[in-house]
Structure 1
């Protein structure tokens, strides 16, 4: 069971993941000059509606931090809480990255910070996903069958490796987009478990209602019947 405030955090994560996916899809329509096969998504910041790139980065960070707090609340194992901490690092890195756009040309301190923060976020997310997903699934009653939450986590690892491979063969843009979509879907998946889990408040209300029905349904004991005169 989760608290109402934890479900609010999950809703924030869902909204941020949705915004991320919508804006990413929109950029492909309004900036067709950016090659999705070879160019990084960060390059959208220098084109039409480029400010939305920074907004989206901040939204991804906010959603990740919200999910990290929610996971910390519902889990008790050391591994899951380490994962929540790493997810918070990912979120804070994305929040900070929104203030450091990628270089349009040449090398600047801003561009260097963008790359450093992006690399940090890229490195910690797969580890966070592996540590968080099974524990969150169990806490929300989604742990059966046990293999599929692990599969969802390892897909993040797989797409992370795909980014490295894509960078080596000249398809970094495509691989990065697959990774970003999978990351957004993973956060939305875990957040949806939290959102749909039975809340403590609802459980308490149900218990009170059940107790009232039981007490109301009981009949008062009858005294011994008197003898006829």
Structure 2
């Protein structure tokens, strides 16, 4: 009876009003995520030599507009951190806190990936440079889809977030599926080519992550505006 009672009380949690600072971070998340997408689209146009079906977005850092890719990674990390700060007062479950930790680690990974330039896709794991290895380590720390699912499950138990339950969970599940499909595209021998669609599914994955971050940011901004 005690567990059932506790479960019921959790589902009826009333979210604390967002502070002015939290509302600003929500807007920062929206702006950073949207600007990331804009930069990524621009890089596809500016550097068409990187086939988007099998070349990773990280390789844009190798071209003449590499600074734009570095900026994009920074914006993604800012969006992740901003969302974490914004929703922290609304997290009430252990899984939600775990999700926040994973999101924070993901942001650190994205920053590392943004600082260190990747090796060309033709370079195998045995010939990787220090910068390329560090970039790969940073990329492997990014588990935003997992964080998105755990955080969404936690937020959906709050009255203020229940209207967003379907959208939050759907976007989080899409990100999880995109991550799994992307991982399945990675060849065991580390040799990539046009027949490996890792670039395409990698782009779908990153856009799914951004979509979730922006969705959370928009709803949080609305909550701040209506307090």
Which TM-score band applies after superposition, normalised by the shorter structure?
0.7 to 0.9
Whole-Å separation in 1 of the counterparts to 2:134 and 2:164: 42
Q: Given the alignment of the two structures, is residue 116 of structure 1 paired with residue 137 of structure 2, yes or no?
A: yes
1:15 positional shift: 1.1
Aligned residue in 2 for 1:179:
205
Residue number in structure 1 paired with 2:218: 192
Offset at 1:147? Answer: 4.1
In 2, distance between residues paired with 1:114 and 1:36? 19
> How does 1:39-54 map onto structure 2 within 5 Å?
39-54=55-70
The CA distance in 1 between the partners of 2:164 and 2:63, in whole Å, is 45
* 3-state SS, counterpart of residue 197 of structure 1: helix
Alignment of 1:160-179 (within 5 A): 160-168=179-187, 170-179=196-205
The 1-side partners of 2:82 and 2:164 are apart by: 27
Q: Looking at CA atoms only, which structure, 1 or 2, has the larger radius of gyration?
A: 1
The answer for the alignment partner of 1:213 in structure 2 is none
Contact 1:134–1:143 (8 Å) recurs in 2: no
> How far 1:42 moved relative to its partner?
0.6
- Structure 2 gaps of 5+ residues are 1-16, 188-194
Displacement of 1:103? 1.6
1:4 aligns with 2:30: no
Aligned pair count reads 199
Q: CA–CA distance in 1 between the matches of 2:39 and 2:148? A: 23
Equivalents in 2 of 1:47, 1:8: separation in Å?
34
In structure 1, list runs of 5 or more residues that go unmatched.
204-229
TM normalised by structure 1 equals 0.80
How much is the aligned-residue C-alpha RMSD, in angstroms?
Answer: 1.9
Counterpart of 1:43 in 2: which secondary structure? helix
Change (3 A) 1:188 1:137: farther
Q: How does 1:121-160 map to 2 (within 5 A)?
A: 121=142, 124-139=143-158, 141-144=160-163, 146-160=165-179
Partner residue of 2:114 out of 98, 111, 115? 98
Write the deviation string for residues 115-151 of structure 1: whole angstroms up to 9, x where unpaired: 0110111xx2222111111333454723137444322
**Per chain length, whose mean CA-contact separation is higher, i.e. which structure has more relative contact order (CA < 8 Å, sep 6+)?**
2
